[in-house]
């Protein structure tokens, strides 16, 4: 082969490989302005469904009416990667205000300074965050004392249950403790051949919203100690959770049998969700599921309750996992004062928060809005509102490397439930070490 | 003497003009090569030695990112093993199957057009749609493939839900979309001189010997091309294993922030390009993402160099 052909081929190979995998980047800057002067700000948000877009546009129109000097250019359906790229690059087309459903990115947004510190703005507007927002929502919108975001509506997790199946099984009320939950799940399970015609609950961690963070909230865990080191091996909550989950897997048929049954489930976000089809009788899920069940026209009665708590914490029944959408100011924005007016309006104006929550079936993110009489009072939404108001409800803290610590813990849980990992204590120790290593690498 | 000197100066000037003209003709490639190859390569090496989260300015980090990826990042070696498995097994299967289909279709007397279309069409299916369709067909609980296997009394694999079957299932998906290689092999096979087959037949060569001593030497540069491009494509294999893993683990339509198991089941569908995304865009660790990118580059180069050395190049030079 002629030498030049080899060289050309090697060049082509290299170019192909590197075009797909190259890495480049740049840095950022900040700015200030006069909020009383006419200006146009750009607002990026993640919502895309017509009802959601309509709701946000209505909110923005109300804001513009109240602030005639500020015009808002709204850009919807923006995903996390685009947000990161724009925050990194800045420039005239970059957003001034960003709403993002990725709460796990708050650690990076705060520590890197791409989201502006909101404390000076909050002080200027005399907003006491502790009296305005539920604590878990304040937790996931700050990182190591820097508040760079505020909650813009929230999501709460609770127990959905099939009332018709409960009635048939002779169960009169939703379970409040985990031992009651286990007994009900077994009662509701009907086997069919080597599978099931109805499963009480899918305990496997691939069962949609059945994840470590969502379930661990019932133990009120502490993910990191005061020095910022992983606490998963020290806080008994995690060991108790995994022991309980493992016991549920055994009680309901074993990992392999359950996993095969799980593969028959339809997509979580479709009408074929196993709760809709009656394949499972109970599940942990967020407030949006109620609307989806209504839309799917399920042929049974259903109810919502807080997810059960460990027996030794029965007095904390009513709590649950909270998360939500965050909103912040881009530090590259030259119109931060005008942009703050929009953030303040969307996050603290009770009517704005309530109307937006009603329109998109989310949980309001301020105490005032949670108590508002204008809030839709259907049974499911009220149950989630109570979970959001519960002082023992909790969330996962922000970390510098996003959701990596949750992923590491969840990956250990996958290995433990499948039997790939045998030792729980040793596994949790190893998981904690890995979390600390990953965080050290990111710092 | 003056005439000679003037002639030599004119010659130099002519050579310079020719040199400039050559450079001008080469400049589009040179610019492209510099922008799309040299700059990314140098940047990738530079960032692999820096701490860079994509937001703050990069700072010197020495070999820390390299140490982290090779000794502490829990997904690296699993992804490396999977990538190598796919490079060796999937590429080999695709080349053999593509050649086999090409041979079959060139031999068919009637209905060749129909078969050509039938084998080529799947290649046009978007990777996400094709993978979702395969995840449906191979679903261990409800998929028609396992129902047929069960009816025949044969074992029913877990396919994308079983770590030992997930990569063979991906290989099946790759074989289904064999249309690209089939067309290339067909063109090569139709180009083999008929006289050589006639001469071999006169010498008493049977079908296998005709294939071994006539067909294969004639199409070997194309086989080589298929292997090299197959290796490069497999090094960049991202969409199909990601979608297959996410679908089988039940999080394909996942909402923001939803946790999923990378490389489900049991890390068996994790590939190196997925790590580049995980590190660079989910963990904000651009430096470590660049390390994985460079490993991919080195592997691509090593495989290509190995194949070229053994084969002696893509083009057979006739003396």
Is B129 among the domain residues? Answer: yes
Domain boundaries, chain A: 39-155+323-389, 156-321+400-442
Whether B124 maps to a domain, the answer reads: yes
Contact between A341 and A39 under an 8 Å Cβ cutoff? The reply is no
The domain made up of A39-155+323-389 is a member of CATH 3.40.190.10: yes
Is A9 an interface residue toward B (CB < 8 Å)? yes
| Helices H / strands E in chain A, number of each | 20, 11
Task: Identify the CA nearest to A341 among candidates A121, A100, A95.
Answer: A121
pLDDT band at A416 (very low <50, low <70, confident <90, very high): very high
Q: Chain B contact for A438, CB < 8 A?
A: yes
Give the pLDDT confidence score for residue A120 in this predicted structure: 93
Residues B131 and B270 in one domain: yes
In A, residues 251-280, which contact B (CB 8 Å cutoff)?
Answer: 259-265, 267-270
Tell me what percent of the residues of chain A surpass a pLDDT of 70. Answer: 93
Tell me if B63 is assigned to some domain.
Answer: no
Residue A339's Cβ-count burial label (10 Å; 0-12, 13-18, 19+) is buried
**Residue B263 domain flag:** yes
At A136-152, the pLDDT tens digits run 999 999 999 999 999 99
Instruction: Say which CATH number the domain at B200 has.
Output: 1.10.3720.10
Distance CA A334, CA A407 (A): 36
Do residue B42 and residue B99 come from a single domain?
Answer: no
Q: Count up the domains in chain B and report the number.
A: 2
Any CB–CB contact under 8 A between A300 and chain B? no
Are B215 and B277 part of one and the same domain? yes
Of the candidates B44, B292, B308, which has its C-beta nearest A22's C-beta?
B44
Reported as a pLDDT band with limits 50, 70 and 90, residue B257 is low
- B123 and B217 in a single domain? The answer is yes
- Structure ipTM over 0.90, yes or no: no
A52 in contact with chain B, both atoms CB, cutoff 8 A: no
Same domain for B44 and B79? no
**Whether pLDDT at B258 is above 80:** no
For A433, nearest residue in chain B (alpha carbons):
B72
B317 and chain A: CB distance < 8 Å anywhere? yes
- Token code pair at residue A275: 């709760």
Q: What domain range includes position B27?
A: 2-48
Whether A1 shows a pLDDT value over 50: the answer reads no
Continuous H helices in chain B = 2-33, 39-48, 64-67, 76-85, 91-107, 112-124, 127-137, 144-151, 166-176, 179-190, 194-202, 207-210, 216-235, 239-249, 272-277, 286-311
- Whether residue A10 and residue B304 make contact (CB cut-off 8 A), yes or no, is yes
Q: Looking at the structure, do residues B237 and B104 belong to the same domain, yes or no? A: yes
Percent of chain B with pLDDT over 90: 73
| Facing B37 at nearest CB: one of A15, A195, A259 | A15
B6 touches chain A (CB under 8 A): no
pLDDT at residue B6 tops 50? yes
Is B57 part of a structural domain of the chain? no
Q: Which residues of A touch B315 (CB under 8 A)?
A: 1-2, 5
B141 with A263: Cβ contact below 8 A: yes
Distance from CA of A65 to the nearest CA of B (A): 32
Which band of pLDDT confidence, cut at 50, 70 and 90, is reported for residue A165? very high
Q: How confident is the model at residue B141 (pLDDT cuts 50, 70, 90)?
A: confident
| Across A307-319, average pLDDT | 97
Residues of chain A above pLDDT 90, percent: 70
pLDDT digits (tens, 9 = 90+) for A2-18: 444 454 444 444 444 44
The pLDDT confidence band at residue A19, using thresholds 50, 70 and 90, is very low
Tell me the pLDDT tens digit for each residue of B167-185: 999 999 999 999 999 999 9
Among residues 416-435 of chain A, which lie with CB inside 8 Å of chain B?
Answer: 418, 420, 434
Tokens of residue B252, six digits: 């394909």
- List A residues 121-180 in contact with B (Cβ-Cβ < 8 A): none
* B25 part of contact set with chain A, CB < 8 Å: no
User: Is A20's pLDDT higher than 80?
Assistant: no
CATH class of the structural domain A156-321+400-442: alpha beta
Reported as a single tens digit per residue, the pLDDT across A73-100 is 999 988 888 888 888 777 778 899 999 9
Instruction: Please tell me the predicted confidence (pLDDT) of residue B5.
Output: 66
Contact at CB, A112 and B314, closer than 8 angstroms? no
pLDDT band at B1 (very low <50, low <70, confident <90, very high): low
Say whether both B15 and B148 belong to one domain. no
Residue B68 lies in a domain: no
Q: Which of B141, B258, B296 sits opposite A17 (nearest CB)?
A: B296
Per-residue pLDDT band at A67 (split at 50, 70, 90): very high
Report whether B26 contacts B263 (CB < 8 A). no
Domain contains B87: yes
B55 falls within a domain: no
- What is the DSSP annotation of A85-149? HHHHH-STTS-SEEEES-GGGHHHHHHHTSBPP-HHHHHHTT--HHHHS-HHHHHTTEETTEE--
């Amino acid at each position: 082969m002629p030498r030049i052909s080899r060289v050309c081929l090697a060049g082509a190979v290299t170019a192909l490989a590197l075009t797909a995998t190259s890495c480049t980047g740049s840095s950022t800057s900040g700015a200030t302005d006069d909020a009383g002067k006419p200006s146009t700000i750009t607002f990026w948000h993640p919502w895309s469904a017509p009802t959601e877009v309509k709701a946000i546009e209505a909110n923005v129109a109300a804001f513009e009416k109240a602030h005639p000097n500020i015009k808002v250019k709204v850009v919807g359906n923006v995903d996390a990667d685009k947000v990161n790229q724009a925050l990194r690059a800045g420039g005239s087309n970059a957003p001034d205000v960003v709403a993002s459903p990725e709460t796990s990115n708050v650690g990076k947004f705060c520590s890197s300074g791409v989201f502006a510190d909101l404390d000076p703005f909050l002080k200027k507007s005399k907003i006491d965050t502790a009296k305005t927002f539920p604590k878990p929502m304040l937790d996931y919108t700050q990182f190591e004392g820097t508040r760079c975001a505020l909650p813009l509506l929230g999501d709460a997790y609770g127990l959905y249950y099939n009332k018709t199946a409960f009635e048939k099984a002779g169960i009169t009320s939703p379970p409040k403790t985990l031992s009651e939950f286990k007994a009900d799940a077994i009662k509701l399970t009907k086997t069919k051949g080597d599978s099931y015609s109805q499963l009480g609950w899918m305990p496997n961690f691939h069962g949609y919203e059945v994840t470590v963070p969502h379930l661990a909230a019932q133990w009120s865990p502490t993910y990191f100690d005061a020095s910022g080191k992983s606490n998963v091996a020290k806080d008994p909550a995690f060991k108790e959770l995994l022991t309980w989950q493992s016991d549920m897997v055994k009680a309901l048929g074993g990992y392999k049998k359950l996993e095969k049954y799980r593969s028959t489930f339809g997509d979580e976000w479709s009408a074929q969700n196993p709760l809709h089809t009656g394949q499972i009788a109970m599940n942990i899920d967020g407030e949006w599921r109620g609307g989806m069940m209504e839309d799917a026209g399920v042929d049974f009665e259903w109810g919502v309750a807080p997810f059960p708590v460990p027996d030794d914490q029965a007095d904390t029944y009513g709590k649950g996992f909270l998360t939500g959408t965050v909103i912040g100011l881009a530090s590259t924005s030259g119109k931060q004062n005008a942009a703050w007016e929009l953030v303040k309006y969307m996050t603290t104006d009770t009517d704005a928060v309530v109307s937006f929550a009603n329109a998109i079936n989310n949980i309001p993110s301020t105490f005032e809005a949670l108590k508002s009489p204008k809030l839709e009072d259907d049974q499911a939404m009220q149950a989630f509102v109570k979970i959001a108001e519960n002082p023992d409800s909790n969330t996962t803290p922000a970390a510098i490397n996003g959701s990596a610590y949750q992923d590491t813990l969840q990956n250990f849980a996958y290995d433990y439930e499948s039997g790939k990992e045998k030792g729980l204590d040793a596994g949790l120790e190893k998981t904690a070490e890995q979390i600390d290593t990953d965080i050290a690498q990111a710092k | 003497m003056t005439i000679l000197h003037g002639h030599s100066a004119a010659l130099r000037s002519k050579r310079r003009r020719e040199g400039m003209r050559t450079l001008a003709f080469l400049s589009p490639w040179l610019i492209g090569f510099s922008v799309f190859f040299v700059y990314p390569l140098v940047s990738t090496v530079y960032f692999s030695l820096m701490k860079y989260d994509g937001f703050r300015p990069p700072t010197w980090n020495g070999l820390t990112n390299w140490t982290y990826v090779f000794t502490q990042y829990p997904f690296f070696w699993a992804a490396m093993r999977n990538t190598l498995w796919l490079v060796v097994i999937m590429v080999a299967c695709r080349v053999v199957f593509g050649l086999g289909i090409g041979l079959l279709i060139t031999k068919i007397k009637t209905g060749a057009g129909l078969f050509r279309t039938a084998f080529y069409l799947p290649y046009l299916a978007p990777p996400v749609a094709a993978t979702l369709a395969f995840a449906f067909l191979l679903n261990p609980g409800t998929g028609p493939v396992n129902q047929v296997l069960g009816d025949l009394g044969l074992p029913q694999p877990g396919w994308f839900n079983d770590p030992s079957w997930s990569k063979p299932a991906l290989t099946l998906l790759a074989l289904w979309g064999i249309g690209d290689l089939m067309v290339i092999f067909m063109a090569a096979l139709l180009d083999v001189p008929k006289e050589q087959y006639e001469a071999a037949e006169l010498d008493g060569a049977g079908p296998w010997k005709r294939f071994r001593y006539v067909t294969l030497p004639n199409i070997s540069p194309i086989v080589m091309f298929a292997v090299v491009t197959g290796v490069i494509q497999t090094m960049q294999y991202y969409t199909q294993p990601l979608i297959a893993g996410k679908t089988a683990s039940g999080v394909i339509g996942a909402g923001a922030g939803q946790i999923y198991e990378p490389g489900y089941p049991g890390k068996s569908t994790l590939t190196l390009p997925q790590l580049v995304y995980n590190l660079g865009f989910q963990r904000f660790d651009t430096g470590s993402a660049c390390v994985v990118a460079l490993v991919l580059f080195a592997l691509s180069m090593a495989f290509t160099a190995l194949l070229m050395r053994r084969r002696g190049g893509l083009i057979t030079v006739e003396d």
